[in-house]
Each structure stands twice: as C-alpha cells, then as structure tokens.
Amino acid sequence: MTDELYTRIVYDGLEAPSIAALPGMKARCIIVDGFSKTYSMTGWRLGFGIMPRELADRVGLLLTHSIGSTAHFTQFAGIEAITGPQDMVAAMVTEYQRRRDVIVDGLNSLPGFACQKPQGAFYAFPNITGTGMSSDQLANLILEKAGVALLPGSSFGKFGEGYLRLSYANSIENIEKGLERIRTIL
Ligand SMILES: Cc1ncc(COP(=O)(O)O)c(C=O)c1O
C-alpha cells in the first residue's frame, strides 16, 4: 500500500515517482490518495484508492458497509478539483516552497536548532538536541510560553525523539510571528 497524498507537493523541480510505476508493480500496489493536501480540502473527508479491479470490488463492499458512502456533494467537489484547471496547484507549491525557505532559515537561526530542507510536503522537522531539552519538554514549553502549537518528534515513535515537527501550511507573516515568539523563550 502506497500513501501518495503528498506526491504533487514537491520542491526544487523534483518529482516523487510512484512505486506502482515500476515494472510489474501496478498489479501489486494499492495507491491511496486524497484531496486534503493537493487541493487544500482538509476536513472534506474525501479520498480514493487505485488498485486492481478484483480488489476494488471487495474494497467497495467493505466501504459500503463500514462508512455507507461519501456525501454526494463532496464527491462532486472532488470531480471538480481533479478535472478543473490545475494552475492553482502549481501556484500553491511555489508558495509552499517560499514558506519552507522562510521557516527552515528561521529555525536554523534559533539556538540549539538544526533543520534540513524538506523536498516535499509542508513540514519542517528540526533537530533540537542542542537545546538540551527532550522534544516533549520543548514542545510543551513552546505551546505554553510562546503559544505556538507543534508536535514533538517522539509522537512519531522513538526515533523521532530529539526533533520537533512544524507545519508551514500557514502565511509567511504567521510563520515569522511564530518563529519570533519561539526565539523570545529560548
Ligand atoms: C501522509 C498522509 N496520508 C494521509 C493523510 C490523511 O488525509 P485526509 O484523511 O485528510 O484525506 C494525511 C493527513 O495528514 C497524511 O499526512
């Protein structure tokens, strides 16, 4: 199963090829995708799967009995999103890339932070071991004292310890404000 929700949000002219495109893999893959990221339709609860026909028939039965069906107006919105003009997607990716550069540069200027540039999606994942705090401690401190919500890397498993995760699906103005607030409490 390959979750390809972020494949269209890639930067620096890169591409995120699907494993299903490799020779012989199409029949062995289930691609799951949706509208939340590419079309900013988070909360619409609409997604789709691409899989071999025999499997699709069985998954269709399962979904019918587990969720009934997706609201019909939401499905029409999804059709519009996929079949309509796609220039907004490219414009959004360009904007996300600008935001990425602002947040990564800002994080790297904070004491004890070291952040690599992500090549896709919209999350920065800085290493914060230089602050001397655990990711839980720092995430709580930043929430309580700076009013900035982010996730401790440890919430992604033990190898996430020592990192924070910040979303940059927000305006540059707010990103800069958030970074400044974090800077004042470090
Ligand atoms: C990798 C990945 N897959 C799937 C989802 C689920 O998206 P949704 O249920 O909003 O369509 C998310 C949401 O954050 C995600 O990050």
Per-residue pLDDT tens for 66-122? 988 889 999 999 999 999 999 999 999 999 999 999 999 999 999 999 999 999 999
- Beta-strand ranges (E) seen in 14-169 are 31-34, 47-50, 123-124, 151-152, 164-167
Pairing of strands 31-34, 2-3: parallel
Residue nearest atom 12 of ligand 1, based on CA coordinates: 5
Mean pLDDT, rounded, for 11-32 = 96
For residue 6, the CA-to-ligand 1 centroid distance in Å is 9
Share of the chain above pLDDT 70, in %: 100
Indicate if ligand 1 lies below 6 Å from the C-beta of 5.
yes
